[in-house]
Chains A and B, each alone.
Chain A
Amino acid sequence: MELTSTTTVNKPPQEVFDFWHRLENLVAFIAHLDEVRVTGPRSSRWRASAPFDTVLEWDVVTTTDVAAERIAWASVEGADVHTSGEVVLVPAPGRRGTEVRVTLRYDMPAGPLGRAVARYFGDDPSQVLDDDLRRLKQVMETGEVVRSEGAPWGKRARKEFPQRPARPLSEEELQELRGRTEVRA
């Protein structure tokens, strides 16, 4: 499975690059990532939650790293999850910021793991990446993921409608929200 998406972020390419280059920051906007831990100059360990309380972890190596232009990465040989990705940064014309083009590739494993990944991406996999990039834009331009009463969960937003009503959260919901609050970059 290959997903591509693009957005324009109203920041210079170097700033977008610097943000993405600190791989821990990916957790702030990529919905399925719970943690990215840098383990060496070009290596990191990524953790994701999957349906049915499954936790997936895999090691990633940064394969390309060109300042203000491009970062590419791939899971290492023998990892449970076979994935690679690339972000390409292009200055938008007329000082309109940076065009951010992202490609993600997943080799879907057979068996329960593959089914779990497929289930996560659902019927409309590209929507998942589109939403990730919308949040990247929010975080870079405004500092955080925007929450409404109908969609208060930040990057943990449930995709489906109906949402909860657009009214203030109850004490129980607020506690749940605090419990879920993502690790901030």
Chain B
Amino acid sequence: MKANCFVGTNKVEVQDVPDPTILNSRDAIVKITSTAICGSDLHLVDGYVPTMEKGDVLGHEFMGEVVEVGRGVDGSRLRVGDRVVVPFPIACGACLACQAELYSCCENTNPNAGVAEKMFGHPVAGIFGYSHLTGGFAGGQAEYARVPFADVGPLRIESDLPDEQVLFLSDILPTGYMGAEMCDITDGDVVAVWGAGPVGQFAMDSARVLGAAMVIAIDDVGYRLDMAASQGYRTVDYSDTDVRSALLELTGGRGPDKCIDAVGMEATDGAAHVQLYDRLKQAVRSETDRPHALRQAILSCRSGGVVSVIGVYGGLIDKFPAGAWMNRSLTLRTGQCHVQRYMRPLLDRIERGELDPMRVITHRLPLAEARRGYDIFKNKEDGCEKVVLKP
């Protein structure tokens, strides 16, 4: 089959690879009908993740049709012919983390748990196409994918909603929603969102659905701010505006009640903390003019507010404003999205017309043009917000 593979720093290539086969009894093979490029795919290919191997199949946002199931798959939950959206964290459904609905912290699905444990203190779940630190699972920017624990995660789509309305249930819609949910939004809350990429846009939509009085988008990419403005959100362009002052002005000097970091840290690492620390310092030095979303969010948030982090962090960060956080009674909440928790309720919201995931799609490309998709997404060319790939 054809699959989009990591072949080196900032280089991806669609290659011929073997078709996937069942390796565990609860696996399914899914024939992929739609897949997408995620901002975190850019983190993987930009060379900051040392547990990427040349030839890894990329992609963790995908959906399609079940064409084969292992003998251990519960037939009441999944059968050949089912149309499914696949959540990006692989979860067993049986461990204590899964029972607490902390699916992205599943204790059983990462065969490289020992490595993850050295990096993070405790291991994290396996993730499709997302380095060997999260298990070394082949991804879904391909014609077919093997899906472990197929009777736990995948969501069956029984309505005739088009792929593009439900594809983002695999990651970015639940991720944005969890960012807003962690804010515990109450009446009158102003919610500021750093990053107007696809996850940021969905965090904004979710904040509004959950009752925010005002939503503010912060970014420096004009067309992304325009996209937010088109939905009725206020915008702050940090390339020509002091963010903290602008936020104070928009909130009568109070500051946003809730702040969402949908940017994260460009750099991640999997081997040694020291190496990671140096790399981060290098990255920061090379981008001294670029504000740090998390630091800014903490300094901007009103006292007693919530800072919710859904942007991806990989290791250590420098100069964390602990004084502001502690003295002003801020709550910091975060997590890789526990996608399985949100798929069904968000599908309901899509069916009711409360959320329109298709609004972020700017490019539809055949899988064969994946490389171009990565290029325009990374370089923010051609108004690129979200690329959907068709195998």
Contacts and interface: CB of A to CB of B under 8 A. Distances in A.
Interface in B1-50: 1, 3, 5, 17-21, 23-26
A149 interface: yes
A147 B148 CA distance: 9
Contacts of B135: 148, 150-151
B138 interface: yes
Given A166-B57, A167-B56, A168-B20, A149 B136 contact: yes
A157 interface: yes
B83 interface: no
A141 B94 contact: yes
Nearest to A92: B96
Nearest to A172: B18
Most buried by B among A96, A127, A149, A162: A149
A134 B123 CA distance: 11
Contacts of A170: 18
Interface string A155-168: 00101011111111
A167 B55 CA distance: 7
Contacts of A130: 114
B146 A149 contact: yes
Contacts of B138: 148-149, 166-168
Nearest to A9: B95
A179 interface: no
A121 to B, nearest CB: 14
Contacts of A159: 114
B109 A134 contact: no
B156 interface: no
A151 B111 contact: yes
B149 to A, nearest CB: 7
A159 B112 CA distance: 9
Interface string A118-135: 000000000100110010
Summarize B's interface: helix, strand, loop or mixed.
Answer: loop
A122 to B, nearest CB: 12
A89 B94 CA distance: 20
A96 B96 CA distance: 7
Given A10-B94, A10-B95, A144 B53 contact: no
A78 interface: no
Contacts of A10: 94-96, 99
Interface in B102-117: 107-115
Contact of B132 (A144, A166, A167): A166
A146 interface: yes
Most-contacted residue by chain B among A143, A146, A166, A171 (CB, 10 A) = A166
B228 interface: no
A176 to B, nearest CB: 13
B87 to A, nearest CB: 16
B305 interface: no
Nearest to B118: A127
A152 interface: yes
B137 A148 contact: yes
Contacts of A70: none
Interface of B: 1, 3, 5, 17-21, 23-26, 51, 53-57, 72, 92, 94-96, 99, 107-115, 126, 129, 132, 135-139, 146, 148-149
Given A141-B92, A147-B148, 5 more contacts: A141-B94, A146-B111, A147-B111, A151-B111, A159-B114
